[in-house]
Structure 1
Amino acid sequence: MTNSLFCVENLRVAYPERNQQSSWAINDVSITLEPGEKLGLVGESGCGKSTLGRATMRLLPKSTQIQGRVTFSGESVFEMNPEQLRRFRGEAVSLVFQDPMTRLDPLMTIGEHCIETLKAHEPKLSRSQAKDRAIETLDAVKIPASRWSQYPHEFSGGMRQRVAIALAVLLNPKLIVADEPTTSLDVTVAAQILKELTRLCEERGTSILLISHDLAMVGEYCDRIAVMYNGKIVETGPVESVFQNPQHEYTRSLLKAALHIQKDRE
């Protein structure tokens, strides 16, 4: 497991609760992600998917109880000092959240967001160099240079998510953690966003951890799938194998529900 790009071993997470003993929101979870691989983490709301993503990035409150081990390229994430952690979150791993406004400051232009991100991690870059690189990245997600000086409120939801993706890939990370990145978008725009994200990652050799409740989306864009239920990983494997021959009852119920929804849409 230690030779993998990203490795989670026997992870447990519990949130503090008043007047009673905390229970495990994540219970003995182990997953691995190889370089360039696309892993889909699926499960119903409240099963622990987002908690898992945030725990591995050390983004949970300090009062949270965490056990287990998380490594990135063999280095322990839980043992990183503040400077190592800052570089890890931007240069090694980037995040794309469900709501792009989590990442975007309404008082800053899109260009200022890009410049600030680049200069924070590569201070030796000149402003003109940073701008050239940022415009190239924005163009890759189909945002023209003419929108450089516009503010987030001047963009649609789909365009704001494209900006968030551009900021995520700006530093050429080895892994992108995308937590329900298209939930607030309509089906057509969501498909476009995921297509752009996976294309960019394939071109750069970047791995993706796609956290989603949408089985169809995971089936189309991911190589492997990990099914989460009640804080545990109950099944994992290649997407095609899991879809054709699910082993766990919960996985079978998810697939039946997905087929039912698809038939209703048709």
Structure 2
Amino acid sequence: MRYRGGGGSKPVQAVTGLSLDIAPGETLAVIGDAGSGKSTLARAIAGYTSRSVPRGVEIVGGALEVLGVDVRRLGRHDDDVLALRVGYVPQDAGLVLDPHLTVGENVAVPLFQRERSFSKTLAGGIVAEAIDAMHLTLATIPKYPHELSRGQRQRVAIARALVLDPDLLVADEATAGIDATVRGTILGHLAEVQRRRGFAAFIVSSEIGEVRRLSQRLAVLHRGTIVGMGGIDEVLNDPTHAYVQRLAEISRVRA
């Protein structure tokens, strides 16, 4: 697939040879250097294309099919085709959390996008369950995003992404820049929910330890090209590219 980010940037060859077949309950992680295209890839998989949202990812060649949907053909009025089946968590929770809505209202947004006449009482119960699943107290629900810590906001964003019980979760550096202890807590909660619900996950990360903790398969992206793909130990124990070798060394040091 060839794509470019919103704003007419230069096209990038990014996912040649990458299979997006992820089994229910499985996690595929993509790790790569800055500017390698991994975040743009995550947005494309989540359906944020130039045909469906302003300044979305423009797919200029190749193919991308997610859950049987040809992402290239999504239009402005088709944005919910994937949104109802794919949960998306960006690095900055502010991209999906409305500062003028309470936590509870933010988490409930996907429910009312799916069905405008959705019962508010039923929504309240579902929201409370989603908040609890991320180990946030119910006292969080009436608060506004700015009243929470960054780690709490990220957990709210994850709760929002999972409120519709999606088939696929796309998490783009969802814990980047967060204290290591808090990050570990969030990852533990996410893994717990995935085990219980069995959704597939596509994780973008720059932390090899995070990748080892969450995923079964790894794709290494370097300068727009896949330079390693397979089981995590398979990729790191037999590196065929200098960038993968560096990742393997980091992994051994932190083991």
Common fold: TM-score over 0.5: yes
Aligned equivalents of 1:63, 1:179: Cα separation in 2:
15
Deviation at residue 87 of structure 1 after TM alignment: 3.3
The answer to whether 1:233 aligns with 2:226 is yes
In structure 1, what residue type is equivalent to 2:40?
A: T
1:214 maps to which of 207, 212, 237: 207
Aligned equivalents of 1:127, 1:208: Cα separation in 2:
29
In structure 1, what residue type is equivalent to 2:168?
A: L
Question: Residue 172 of structure 1: SS of its match in structure 2?
Answer: coil
Partner of 1:37: 26
Aligned equivalents of 2:95, 2:69: Cα separation in 1:
28
Question: Residue 87 of structure 1: SS of its match in structure 2?
Answer: helix
The more displaced of 35-44 and 24-33 is 24-33
Aligned equivalents of 2:212, 2:242: Cα separation in 1:
18
Aligned equivalents of 2:172, 2:90: Cα separation in 1:
5
Partner of 1:12: 2
Question: Residue 31 of structure 1: SS of its match in structure 2?
Answer: coil
Closer, same or farther in 2 for the Cα pair 1:70/1:171, shift >3 Å?
same
Aligned equivalents of 1:219, 1:176: Cα separation in 2:
17
CA contact (8 A) 2:14 2:226 kept: no
Partner of 1:188: 181
Aligned equivalents of 2:158, 2:15: Cα separation in 1:
30
Question: Residue 161 of structure 2: SS of its match in structure 1?
Answer: helix
Deviation at residue 29 of structure 1 after TM alignment: 5.2
The answer to whether 1:178 aligns with 2:178 is no
CA contact (8 A) 2:49 2:72 kept: no
Question: Residue 39 of structure 2: SS of its match in structure 1?
Answer: helix
CA shift digits 1:63-108 (9 cap, x unpaired) = 845211111232312223444332312x111111111111112221
Aligned equivalents of 1:128, 1:80: Cα separation in 2:
33
Equivalent residues in 2 for 1:38-187 (5 A)?
Answer: 38-56=27-45, 57-60=47-50, 61=55, 64=58, 66-89=60-83, 91-187=84-180
CA contact (8 A) 2:107 2:156 kept: no
Question: Residue 34 of structure 1: SS of its match in structure 2?
Answer: coil
Aligned equivalents of 2:246, 2:133: Cα separation in 1:
38
The more displaced of 73-82 and 46-55 is 73-82
CA contact (8 A) 2:169 2:201 kept: yes
Superposition TM-score, scaled by structure 2 size: 0.88
Structure (1 or 2) with the larger CA radius of gyration = 1
Percent identical among aligned pairs is 32
Question: Residue 256 of structure 1: SS of its match in structure 2?
Answer: helix
2:197 maps to which of 182, 185, 204: 204
In structure 2, runs of 5+ residues without a counterpart are none
| Aligned structure 1 segments of 4 or more residues deviating by more than 6 angstroms | none
Closer, same or farther in 2 for the Cα pair 1:195/1:65, shift >3 Å?
same
Aligned equivalents of 2:138, 2:93: Cα separation in 1:
20
In structure 1, runs of 5+ residues without a counterpart are 1-10
In structure 2, what residue type is equivalent to 1:43?
A: G
